Amino acid sequence: MKRLLYSIGLGLGTLCAQAQVKPFQQNDRVIFVGNSITEAGAYVSYVYLYYMTHFPGKRLVIMNGGIGGDKASDIYRRLDYDILAKKPNVLILTFGMNDTGYFEFNNSDSDKTAAERIEASRKNYVMIEDRLKKLPDIQKVLMSSPPYDETAKIGGAVFRGKHKAMLEVVKFQEAAAKQNGWPFADLFRPMTALNAQLQQKDSAFTLIGPDRVHPGNAGHLVMASLFLKNQGLSGVPVADVRIDAAGGKVKQEVNCSISNFSASTGKVSYNYLAASLPFPIDTVARTWGNDQKQADALKWIPFTDEFNREMLEVDGLQPGDYNLLIDGHAVGEWSAGAFSKGINLATVPETPQYKQATSIMQLNIRRAEVEARLRRYFWVQGNFFDKRNLRQQDNAAALDSIRKYAKNDGMLRYHEENYETAMYKELRAAWQQEIDTIIDLIYKLNKPVSHKIEIVKI
Give residue 209's pLDDT: 94
**DSSP, residue by residue, 261-318:** EEE-SSEEEEEEEESS---PPP-S--BTTB---GGGGGGTS-HHHHH--EEEEEESPP
Would you say residue 1 has pLDDT above 50? no
pLDDT (tens digit per residue) in 422-454: 999 999 999 999 999 999 999 999 999 999 999
8 A C-beta contact, residue 92 and residue 86: no
pLDDT per position as a tens digit, 94-125: 999 999 999 999 999 999 999 999 999 999 99
Q: How far apart are CA 69 and CA 89, in angstroms?
A: 25
CA distance 441 to 101: 42
Reply yes or no on whether the pLDDT at 365 is more than 90. yes
pLDDT tens digits for range 271-288: 999 999 999 999 999 988
Cα separation, 271 vs 264, in Å, equals 16
State residue 226's pLDDT score: 98
Assign 5 a pLDDT band (cuts: 50, 70, 90): very low
Which residues contact residue 346 at a Cβ distance below 8 angstroms, ignoring those fewer than 6 apart?
238, 278, 279, 304, 308, 309, 310, 354
Question: Residue 128: pLDDT band by 50, 70, 90 thresholds?
Answer: very high
Q: C-alpha dihedral over 38, 39, 41, 43, to 10 degrees?
A: -10
What domains sit in the chain, N to C, each tagged with a CATH number? 2-230 (3.40.50.1110), 239-275+309-458 (no CATH)
| Statement: residue 6 has pLDDT above 80 | no
Per-residue pLDDT tens for 338-349?
999 999 999 999
- What pLDDT was estimated at residue 16? 43
**Percent of the chain residues past pLDDT 70, beyond the cut:** 96
Alpha-carbon span 188 to 171, nearest angstrom:
10
Which pLDDT does position 352 carry in this prediction?
Answer: 98
Q: Considering the chain, what is the average pLDDT of its residues?
A: 95
Supply the Cα-derived Rg of the chain in whole angstroms: 24
Average pLDDT on 410-414 reads: 95
User: What pLDDT is stored for residue 13 in this prediction?
Assistant: 44
Per-residue confidence (pLDDT) for residue 288, from 0 to 100 = 86
Task: Please report the pLDDT score of residue 84 as a whole number.
Answer: 98
Q: What pLDDT is stored for residue 19 in this prediction?
A: 63
Q: What is the pTM of this model?
A: 0.95
CA dihedral defined by 45, 30, 131, 133, rounded to 10 degrees? -130
What does the pLDDT look like over 351-360, one tens digit per residue? Answer: 999 999 999 9
User: Contact, 213 vs 221, CB < 8 A?
Assistant: no
The predicted model gives 390-402 an average pLDDT of 95
Give the model confidence (pLDDT) of 181-204 as tens digits.
999 999 999 999 999 999 999 999
The pLDDT value given to residue 17: 46
| pLDDT at position 254 over 90 | yes
- Using DSSP, state whether 340 is helix, strand or coil: helix
